[in-house]
Every structure is written in structure tokens, then in C-alpha cells.
Amino acid sequence: MKLIVGSKNQTKVQAVADVFTKATVIGADVPSDVAAQPFGDEETLQGALNRAKHAQELERHVFGVGLEGGVILTLGKLYVCNWGTLLTPEGNVYHASGARVRLPDAFIEPLKNGTELSDLMNAYTKRHDIRHHEGAIGIFTNGLLNRQEMFAQVVTLLYGQYLHEKA
């Protein structure tokens, strides 16, 4: 079994490898075809689907995986949202969503105006490249759940759906 992840971000690639332990997992730099900072479930899920499709187009008879992080306003509060898509060589499509954690209210306007969450997180933490490490979810859960673990949960949900359908 070979999976191509529609990203070179090692937190995403490793999350897939952590779940598909007996598979070959590689990352590929592909576009999401959505905004650099997806806003809402629909745009974030569309980004995951697009990444999976583009990844799968790179090679025949492989699984495509797309993982996309975004933000969503719910009841006036801002949260991270994360989606994943698994495409099988046979054409089956599976989607799953991940954990959500609240973000500071001060992030709402900059995000609405096009600033990426990664830039806000770098400024908030006074560190660089949070998205390739613990992510916002790691910061706002005080390290109890990091970005790679959260994406691994999403991938587990995708894989579980695939296994259920095959059973």
C-alpha cells in the first residue's frame, strides 16, 4: 500500500505514517486550491479534498491523503478546524474532521482580513514555524495535544472508515 500526502509538512506526513505503519507514505507539494487560510468547515474540507486529489494524480494505483487546517467562527467565537480526506485507488472517498480548540478573540479580525493563523501564532508565541511543530492546538492545549497527534486522530478516523467499508 502506498499513500501520497498532499503536503510536504512533516507534521502531516508523519501523522499519516503513524497510522499507516505498514505502508509507504510520502509527501508531495500540491496546491489546496483554497485560500491560504481556509475559513469555515466547507473551505477547509475542500482544501483537504483538493490536496488528496492532486496527490493521487501524481501516481497510479495509490491512495491520496489531504489534510487541511482552518479556522471557524461558531457562536461568535473562533476555533481551529481540521479536515482530512482519503481517496482510494478504487475511487472511494472518506472525510473526517478533527479536534477544535478556541482561539483568542483578537485573532478574528486579522484572520478575516487575510492574515494566516501561522503568522498570528508566530507573533503570539514569539517563535517561528509553529505550524510545523505543535501548532495552535498544541499551544492552546498547553502541549497536551499537538498538531501531529491531532492529524493522526483524523487519519485514524479516515482509515477506520476505509476498514469498516472493506469488512
Cα separation, 47 vs 125, whole angstroms: 26
- The model's pLDDT over 19-77, given as tens digits with 9 standing for 90+, comes to 999 999 999 999 999 999 999 999 999 999 999 999 999 999 999 999 999 999 999 99
Angle, helices 10-19 vs 147-166, to 10°: value is 40
Q: How far is CA 136 from each of CA 52, 63, 157, rounded to the nearest angstrom? A: 23, 28, 21
Residue corresponding to grid cell 493522526: 152
pTM: 0.96
Walk me through the domains of the chain, giving residue ranges and CATH numbers.
2-166 (3.90.950.10)
Any idea which of 30-34, 55-59, 116-120, 131-135 has the lowest mean pLDDT?
131-135
